[in-house]
Amino acid sequence: MCEHHDLTTPLGAVADPAARARSPLGRRALLRGAGGVLLTGGVITAGAQSASAATSQNGWTAGTSSQIPLSSLAVGAATFPSGVRAGDVYTVLRYVAVQFNATVEALYSPGCWGHNYREISGSTSLSNHASGTAIDCNAPDHPLGAAGTFSSAQVSAIRTILTRCNGVVRWGGDYSSRKDEMHFEINVPPGDSRLPTLAASLGGGGGTPTPPSGWTLVRQGDTGFRVSAVQHLLRQRGYSVGADGIFGSGTDGAVRSFQSSRGLSADGIVGQHTWTALIVNVQSGSQGEAVIGVQKCLTAKGYSTGADGIFGSGTDAQVRAFQRSRGLPDDGIVGSNTWQALTA
C-alpha cells in the first residue's frame, strides 16, 4: 500500500525486494500502512489514529470505514481490502481496475489496496486512501520510487485508461518526483462535474446510492436464503461447507475459520464486518458459487432466476430490476450495497 503522499506529489508503497518474488520483475514486498504492518492474510495491526472531520489530499472527506460510504471492490483474482468510496468514485476506480486487469496485467491478492484511514507518513495530512478515492494495483511488483516497472506496451495500455478517464484519474507513474506506479487516484475535488459525467458514461448510476439500513445478522441455528448466501460465499472462497441453507456446526466452523483468517472476532456470527469481508462482487459474465448465492437471494426476493452459477442475461436483468426496486443504481453489478439489500 502507498506509504507516502507528499503535499505536491503523492507517493506509493514501501516494498522490500527480499520479501516477495513475483512475475518477471521478481520483486517481493512487505507492505506497511501508517501505524500498521500488513501481515500474512491481509491483517493490518496497530492502525491509524481515529478519524475526525478532515479531508484527504484531493479534497474529499476522509474517515474510517464507519464514517464514509464504501463499496467493496473485487476484480479478477484481486480483492481491494475495505473497498473504495461508493457512488461515482467507485464506478470510475472500478473501471480503472477492470481495464488494468484486462489490458495491463492480471491483478492478484494480496497486493491490491483501497481505503485505509491514515495520515501521510511524517505529516498531519491524510492520504487519498483515507477518503476511499485511491487504489493500488499489484503493489509488490511496482514499489514506491521504482520507475520502469511496466513495459512500454503496458504503459501504453495505462495511457489508454487515463485518456478514457478525461483527467479525472491520475497515475502515480506521472508524478514529477518519486514515482508510484502502482497507484491511481481521483484527481478532481468533490463537486467537479467531470466525475459524474465520466461515471455516467461508464454505466454508473451517478451520485452516492442510499445504502440499505444495515447488514442482517446470520448465526448458528438460522435457516433460509441468507444462510445459503453465506455458504455459497464461503465455498467461493475455498471453504468446504454444504449449501443446504442450514446454519449448523459445519457452517459455524467455516465462518469462524474465515473470520480468523481476516483478523475478525471469531464468534461465528455473520454481521457487518464478516459480510463485508465475505462478499464477492459479481456481474454479467461472472460464474461460480457467489453467483449462485446471488441467484438464490434474487429468487427469495421475488425475482426468480435459475441457480446455475452463470451470470447471464437473465440474471443481469433480474439484478437490475431488483436494484431499481431498492433505489440503487441499476448497473447490474452486485457489490456491497446490492449484496446488503439482497440479504436484508
Indicate the pLDDT class of residue 282, thresholds 50, 70 and 90: very high
Say what the pLDDT of residue 112 is. Answer: 94
Do 182 and 213 meet the contact criterion of CB atoms below 8 Å apart?
no
**What global pTM score does this model have?**
0.51
The residue whose grid cell reads 497486493 is 111
Residue 158: name the closest of 149, 199, 17 by CA.
149
pLDDT of residue 211: 43
| Nearest in space to 146 (alpha carbons), one of 121, 195, 183 | 183
Question: Tell me, what's the pLDDT at 59?
Answer: 93
| The pLDDT of residue 328 is above 90 | no
Taking only the tens place, the pLDDT of each residue in 83-129 is 999 888 998 999 999 889 888 999 998 999 999 998 766 567 888 99
Q: Is the dihedral of CA 25, 26, 27, 30 positive or negative?
A: positive
44: closest CA among 64, 24, 62? 64
Nearest Cα neighbor of 317 from 335, 330, 302 is 330
Write out the DSSP string of 236-281. Answer: HTT-----SSB--HHHHHHHHHHHHHTT---SS-B-HHHHHHH---
Query: CA 231, CA 149: separation in Å to the nearest integer?
Result: 40
Q: Is the dihedral of CA 10, 131, 343, 220 positive or negative?
A: positive
> Residue 204 corresponds to which cell in the numbers above?
454508473
pLDDT of residue 72: 86
* Least reliable range by pLDDT among 73-87, 160-174, 250-264: 73-87
**Res. 203 pLDDT band, cuts 50 70 90:** low
Residue 28 has pLDDT above 50, yes or no: no
Contact criterion met (CB below 8 Å) for 11 and 5: yes
Q: Which amino acid is at 24?
A: P
Q: Which tens digits make up the pLDDT trace of 306-325?
A: 999 999 999 999 999 988 88
